[in-house]
Amino acid sequence: MEALSNGQSTVVRTSRGLSIAGTRITLYALLDYLHADWPPKLVQDWFNLTDQQMSDILTYLAAHRDEVEAEYQQVLRQADVNRQYWEARNHEREPSRAPTPASPEQEALRAKLRIWKAQLRQP
């Protein structure tokens, strides 16, 4: 673990897994963004981290890449299992309903939105 100037580690292992000391932020949450090709500076700003914290985290990730990646994949698998469980459970509780047709006003708004999106896509 990377040590801060006061001798404490930036990256610590908690019951939630690898985390940033003094926060509830896990490294796995940061990895979601880093794997999505967010620049580290943007991730740092998004999570309100200091330059030193981000530097320590990137150093830790580089030094322990295989170990952290294996844990991250396990976290993703567990999250998928949890999602599937809750989707199935909620599906059992919901009465089956046919989708209600959109009102003419909603259809008019959707048509305007499609036109607006098409205009934004044009060079």
| CATH number, position 77 | 1.10.10
Neighbours of 98 (CB within 10 A): 5
Is 99 domain-assigned? no
Query: Is the overall model pTM greater than 0.85, yes or no?
Result: no
- Number of structural domains the chain divides into: 1
Matching residue, tokens 């500076």: 41
Distance, in Å, from the CA atom of 85 to the CA atom of 64, rounded to the nearest integer, reads 32
Q: For 55-102, what is each residue's pLDDT tens digit?
A: 999 999 999 999 999 999 999 999 999 999 998 888 777 766 667 888
Is 89 domain-assigned? yes
Q: For 11-59, what is each residue's pLDDT tens digit?
A: 999 999 999 999 999 999 999 999 999 999 999 999 999 999 999 999 9
- Structural domain for 81, as ranges: 11-93
Is 69 domain-assigned? yes
The CA-atom distances, in angstroms, between 101 and each of 72, 107, 121 are: 42, 10, 28
The residues that bridge with 11 in the sheet, in sequence order, are: 20
Is 113 domain-assigned? no
Q: Are strands 17-20 and 11-14 parallel, antiparallel or unpaired?
A: antiparallel
Is 101 domain-assigned? no
Is 122 domain-assigned? no
Q: Give the contacts of 14 (CB within 8 A, at least 6 positions apart).
A: none
